[in-house]
């Protein structure tokens, strides 16, 4: 058994771990985390639910394994000399995963906060290791690389949560309705928000991500580097 009760042994008489996680992800994509149970997963796989405990000790372990599998789709080229461009690529990948699997995002964002870093599934730590390697190879100190990682992932996690709220929770709210609602705000109290009504009503997640990365990377380029010069 590995960390968090996720078992990686294979049994030819039952579904593979990969097939089990794939089916679990499909259920979560369709009906959310609440819709996933060992019984339902067993039906989806055509197996006795008890056979699934070969791969996960309980639902919590199963959810952790699903999150690990999704994060495992991120790819970081640690040899890329354009470290800023590589961070932008990773941000786009993360957004793509969030759009493809919106119901998994809470697991990706909140689950790590509840688990000490040393106890997290190894797959969820690989992006951290890879980004640290990318930045240290570029010339940042180990400590600065960690600070950059935290700022970077804090931004992209916040971005996808905000975008999913716009896309999933407010999908029935048209631009005209949003503009109308904003213009009903008292002008004296909310002049700035009212002036931004057209911008707020025309939210574009991809464009917002790029703009946010522009701001973040600009900040990194003007931040004094320990050696006196920032990596190219």
Residues 28 and 101 in one domain: no
79: confidence class by pLDDT, cuts 50, 70, 90:
very high
| 220, 232 Cβ separation under 8 angstroms | no
Per-chain mean pLDDT for the chain? 85
Higher-confidence position of 197 and 62:
62
The Cα 191–Cα 179 span in angstroms is 14
Residues 142 and 114 in one domain: yes
Residues 12 and 56 in one domain: yes
| 77, 1 Cβ separation under 8 angstroms | no
Residues 106 and 215 in one domain: yes
Domain count, the chain: 2
pTM: 0.81
Q: How does pLDDT run across 1-26, given as a tens digit for each residue?
A: 444 555 544 445 578 899 999 999 99
Which of 36, 70, 104 is the last residue in one of the domains?
A: 70
Residues 212 and 110 in one domain: yes
The Cα 77–Cα 130 span in angstroms is 8
Residues 81 and 60 in one domain: no
Domain range enclosing 10: 3-70
Residue 231: predicted pLDDT: 53
Q: Where are the beta strands (DSSP E) in 58-189?
A: none
Residue 168: predicted pLDDT: 58
Which of 70, 93, 113 is the last residue in one of the domains?
A: 70
**Domain harbouring 84, CATH code:** 1.10.357.10
Residues 40 and 93 in one domain: no
Which of 70, 94, 115 is the last residue in one of the domains?
A: 70
Q: Is the pLDDT of residue 152 over 70?
A: yes
DSSP category for residue 12: T
Residues 104 and 209 in one domain: yes
Q: How does pLDDT run across 19-65, given as a tens digit for each residue?
A: 999 999 999 999 999 999 999 999 999 999 888 888 888 998 899 99
């Amino acid at each position: 058994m590995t960390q968090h009760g996720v078992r990686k042994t294979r049994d030819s008489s039952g579904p593979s771990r990969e097939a089990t996680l794939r089916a679990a992800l499909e259920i979560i994509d369709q009906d959310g985390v609440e819709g996933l149970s060992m019984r339902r997963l067993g039906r989806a796989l055509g197996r006795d639910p008890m056979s699934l405990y070969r791969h996960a000790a309980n639902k919590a372990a199963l959810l952790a394994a699903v999150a690990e599998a999704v994060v495992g789709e991120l790819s970081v080229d640690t040899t890329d000399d354009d470290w800023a461009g590589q961070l932008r690529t990773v941000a786009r990948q993360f957004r793509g995963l969030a759009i493809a699997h919106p119901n998994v995002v809470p697991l990706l964002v909140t689950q790590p906060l509840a688990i000490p870093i040393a106890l997290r599934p190894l797959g969820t730590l690989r992006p951290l290791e890879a980004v640290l390697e990318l930045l240290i190879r570029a010339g940042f100190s180990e400590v600065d690389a960690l600070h950059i990682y935290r700022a970077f992932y804090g931004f992209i996690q916040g971005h996808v949560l905000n975008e999913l709220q716009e896309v999933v929770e407010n999908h029935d709210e048209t631009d005209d309705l949003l503009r109308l609602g904003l213009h009903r705000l008292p002008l004296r109290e909310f002049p700035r928000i009212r002036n931004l009504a057209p911008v707020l009503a025309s939210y574009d997640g991809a464009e917002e991500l790029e703009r946010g990365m522009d701001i973040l990377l600009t900040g990194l380029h003007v931040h004094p580097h320990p050696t006196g010069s920032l990596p190219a």
